[in-house]
Amino acid sequence: MSTILITGCSSGFGLETARHFADRGWDVVASMRSPQDDALFPPESVRILPLDVTDPASIAAVIEAAGPIDALVNNAGIGFLNAVEGTPMEAVRDIFETNTLGTIAMTQAVLPQMRERRAGVIVNVTSSVTLRSLPLLSVYTASKAAVNAFTDSVALELAQFGVRVRVVLPGRAPDTRFGDNARARMTSGFPEPYGELVQAVFAGWEEDAGPVTSASDVAEAVWQAVVDDASPAHIPAGADAVAWAQGR
């Protein structure tokens, strides 16, 4: 049985992806910062482990507990929404620490075993906002665009060892907690000079009746990235993400 380790599984994309692989017979290690509810998954179908991707000791512990890992999905991430002028540098560092450095740290942690076996897949979940510039998302977009670039480069390094690295780019997902969590992190508020822009952006989102992304779209894209040796390097997930990728 193949084993997959997925980060950020308490809700949304990570939770659905863990269920997707468990339903298809994989040994799933679902990690999250604070495991609280074993009822997230059917009994005995998934191993739930605590993981803070910003903590080296936590990473080492989950790698040891997981055993041999055939696929890693770097899904853990935090959102943020604000004008860059109103974004404290502490918040910038927190975002990059989780979204960017956490992905790199997890990749480093699994590489020795994959390289020695000359097999494995790493999938990094970023965002379709890296395909289309949007206001108020500059720091978040930068943290995810850095992962795109990291993925493309490390894929070239690891091809010689039979290890594949892919990016999945979800679109807008209003049915997940991600957007709510992003808004909750706007602790310092928006700078007053950007008020009209902020109102226009939020109004546009509320009025947007176009296609969106579901958690199942992302789970299916991750599945493709893991099981299909011929999958593309970048896989948009969701109708809106596909449209953005095609129109880039």
Q: Would you please indicate which residues are annotated as catalytic (active-site) residues? A: 140
Residues 245, 31: Cα–Cα separation, whole Å: 30
**Letter for the amino acid at 27?**
D
- Under DSSP, is residue 218 helix (H, G, I), strand (E, B) or coil? helix
Cα three-residue angle 162-167-168, rounded to 5 degrees: 130
Residues 77, 142: Cα–Cα separation, whole Å: 13
Phi-psi region of 166 (alpha: psi -120 to 50; beta: other; left: phi over 0): beta
Which is nearest to 46 in space by CA: 75, 5, 76? 5
Helical (H) or strand (E) element with 49: strand 46-50
The side-by-side arrangement of strands in the sheet containing 120-125 is 46-50, 27-32, 3-6, 71-74, 120-125, 163-170, 234-237
Q: Are 53 and 76 in contact (CB under 8 A)?
A: yes
| C-alpha distances out from residue 158 to 121, 138, 203, Å | 10, 30, 44
